[in-house]
Amino acid sequence: MIEVSGLTKRFGDFTAVQELSFTVRPGEVLGLVGPNGAGKTTTLRCIAGIIPASAGQLRIAGHDLAIQPIAAKRALAFFPDEPRLFDYLTVRQHLAFVARIYGVADHAAIAEPLLAELEIADKANELPGALSRGMKQKLAIACGLLHSPSVMFFDEPLTGLDPLGIRRMKDSILKRAAAGATIVLSSHLLHLLEEVCSHVLILKQGEKICDGTLAEVAQRFSNGEPDVSLEEVFLRATGGAER
């Protein structure tokens, strides 16, 4: 469960996110969409506890991020769009290192199936320098899933993956949501979001324009037309303008 109430993030005089509130329940996948600079990454970084919020209350799996940051962070995983890896640790050593940080016992029993699921098992003894961009992303995902988080944040998870990789990533997200995970992901790939997300939140200039199930949001911007795509909804909701 993710409960965000009145999230505001300022950088100096600039307000990147303004009074944002939303809830995501177990089994739901929320797509965070908005034009460039709308505040998607800032929102994800705040609710993952990577940067402090300027105001607002954030609860992750029942833990207040400001009061119980360790318990909240134990429950979550954040997957950035540009994974940062250790140049001199192999794929397998990355997983061993992350397992020790999170206190995951018998990590090999979890790591090996993850490497197989993400199709990088044959790279287990390689350094990041020998991996493609998509493989690096998969390694970062394996590291994030190792402690079995119940709450997951993905920032542009489909960028850099090949078509099969995108299909597998979508299946993997849906599988984890079906198993009860609570998931938020940001992406500009709206047609792909439509296949993965149960809910959507549209942000513009740091403020929420609307949120709800895909059907609710589509209904709101449908102008009475049937089967309006998320792309069309997005363009209508944001005025097609970039910030």
Ligand X SMILES: Nc1ncnc2c1ncn2[C@@H]1O[C@H](COP(=O)(O)OP(=O)(O)OP(=O)(O)O)[C@@H](O)[C@H]1O
Shortest spacing between CB 171 and ligand X, in angstroms? 25
Backbone angles phi, psi at 53, to 5 degrees: -70, 150
Q: Which of 38, 48, 98, 142: binder of ligand X (CB under 6 A)?
A: 38
Shortest spacing between CB 164 and ligand X, in angstroms? 25
Shortest spacing between CB 133 and ligand X, in angstroms? 17
Work out whether 11 is an interface residue with ligand X (CB under 6 A). yes
> Between residue 71 and residue 90, which ones bind ligand X under the rule CB under 6 A?
none
Name, in order, each residue with C-beta under 8 angstroms of 134's C-beta and a sequence gap of 6 or more.
160, 161, 162, 165
Cα 172 from Cα 137, distance rounded (Å): 14
- Considering CB under 6 A, how many residues would be counted as binding ligand X? 11
- CA-based end-to-end distance of the chain: 31
Work out whether 39 is an interface residue with ligand X (CB under 6 A). yes
- Cβ(17)–Cβ(39) below 8 Å: yes
Shortest spacing between CB 10 and ligand X, in angstroms? 9
Q: Which of 29, 30, 41, 234: binder of ligand X (CB under 6 A)?
A: 41
Work out whether 30 is an interface residue with ligand X (CB under 6 A). no
Q: Which of 20, 31, 34, 169: binder of ligand X (CB under 6 A)?
A: 34
Q: Which of 2, 3, 4, 40: binder of ligand X (CB under 6 A)?
A: 40
**Both tokens assigned to 194:** 């439509």
Query: How buried is residue 105: exposed, middle or buried, by Cβ count under 10 Å (0-12/13-18/19+)?
Result: exposed
Q: Which is nearer to ligand X, 23 or 159 (CB)?
A: 159
**Both tokens assigned to 72:** 């909240």
3 state DSSP class of 17: strand
Cα 152 from Cα 172, distance rounded (Å): 12
Q: Which is nearer to ligand X, 110 or 200 (CB)?
A: 200
Which residue is it, tokens 């449908």?
222
Q: Which is nearer to ligand X, 42 or 150 (CB)?
A: 42
Shortest spacing between CB 39 and ligand X, in angstroms? 4
- Determine the distance from the C-alpha atom of residue 176 to the mean position of all C-alpha atoms in its chain, rounded to a whole number: 13
Which parts of 51-156 are beta strand (E)? 55-60, 63-64, 76-79, 151-155
Q: Which of 27, 37, 83, 165: binder of ligand X (CB under 6 A)?
A: 37
Sign, CA torsion 61/153/230/18: positive
Q: Which is nearer to ligand X, 110 or 158 (CB)?
A: 158
Work out whether 149 is an interface residue with ligand X (CB under 6 A). no
Q: Which of 2, 7, 16, 139: binder of ligand X (CB under 6 A)?
A: 16
Binding region for ligand X (CB under 6 A): 11, 14, 16, 34, 36-42
